[in-house]
Amino acid sequence: MFLTISARFYSFRSLKIGTIFLSFYRANACNTWPYIGVISASNMGMKALPKKRLPLILFGIAVTLLFFVQPAQAFTITLEQVGANVVANGSGAINLTGLTPAGGAAIGGGGIEASAGQIITGSPGSATAYTGLNGPTSFGSGGLFNASTSSGDLFGRFPTQFGGPLLVPFLYTSGDPLTNSMTFDNATFASLGVTPGTYEWTWGTGLPNQNFTLIIGGAGVPDGGTTVSLLGFGLLGLAALRRKLGC
């Protein structure tokens, strides 16, 4: 078995954004795409700007922040068939609020046991177990399979019969990004006994990253179209502003 429990007990990602630079046509406030002539927003005196140009600059700031201020997404593992192998890739962050530490674990490597709802990715090492998850107890009928290779940050869910706790790296800081992968050589979904679909485990009160998702089959996780919707509203606002300014 690739995971053994030891007796050891476990004792926001800050996003730093540099100076935002804006670009615009100096000669024509109505022509805003593409922007040219880079200026520093922090060094620009707002009083010196014509009132007609100020709304366009504020709109530029909003669009810039839309694309550059992105919080870390909840941890997601995608399991895909790649040639003759099955490959798992995981990335994201975990919010530990709402979980209860349950002890330490010594991890010998990655593996999967679909019938027990177990999947563990990352390099061998020490992990901390947390209880309090709600979600599927299995994602197929397969037994225990060790990964051929596994690397990156430790992460996973222990078998349902042991309470199905969440596993994160020892001394993990809530909100820190995690990245890992593992490969099962000469394997298929059928041979591993996994059922394609999307499986989600949750905890806490629904705060950001109080969940993690397993996607078997490579289907994307929709985000509700938030980014596209915001951009669409922004473009509609710009069109209305241009009409108001008589551009």
pLDDT in tens, 52-69: 555 565 555 555 544 444
pLDDT at 150: 97
pLDDT digits (tens, 9 = 90+) for 160-197: 888 999 999 999 999 999 999 999 999 999 999 999 99
Q: Token pair of 19, please? A: 């100076």
Which pLDDT belongs to residue 15?
A: 33
How many secondary structure helices (H) and strands (E) does the chain include? 3, 16
> 1-24, pLDDT tens digit by residue?
444 433 333 333 333 333 333 343
| pLDDT for 78 beyond 80 | yes
Give the H/E segment covering residue 120. strand 118-121
What percentage of the chain exceeds 90 in pLDDT? 57
Q: Could you identify the residue written with the tokens 């530490």?
A: 101
**Is the separation of the CB atoms in 158 and 165 below 8 Å?**
yes
The mean pLDDT of 100-116, rounded to a whole number, is 95
pLDDT of residue 24: 37
CA-closest candidate to residue 133, choices 112, 154, 155: 155
The position carrying tokens 């099962």 is: 184
Q: Which 8-state DSSP code applies to residue 134?
A: B
Write down the pLDDT at residue 242.
Answer: 56
Render pLDDT for 232-246 as a digit per residue (tens, 0 to 9): 545 455 555 556 555
Q: What is the reported pTM? A: 0.64
As a whole number of angstroms, the distance between CA 127 and CA 105 comes to: 5
Indicate the angle between helix axes 54-68 and 226-244, nearest 10 degrees: 170
Q: Which of 244, 236, 247, 231 is nearest to 62 (CA)?
A: 231
Q: How far apart, in whole angstroms, are the C-alpha atoms of residue 37 and residue 177? A: 35
* Strands lying side by side in the sheet with 118-121: 3-5, 100-107, 125-131, 166-169, 155-157, 118-121, 111-113, 144-146
Task: Report the pLDDT value the prediction gives residue 28, as an integer from 0 to 100.
Answer: 46
What would the pLDDT profile of 139-166 be if each residue is shown by its tens digit? 999 999 999 999 999 999 999 888 999 9
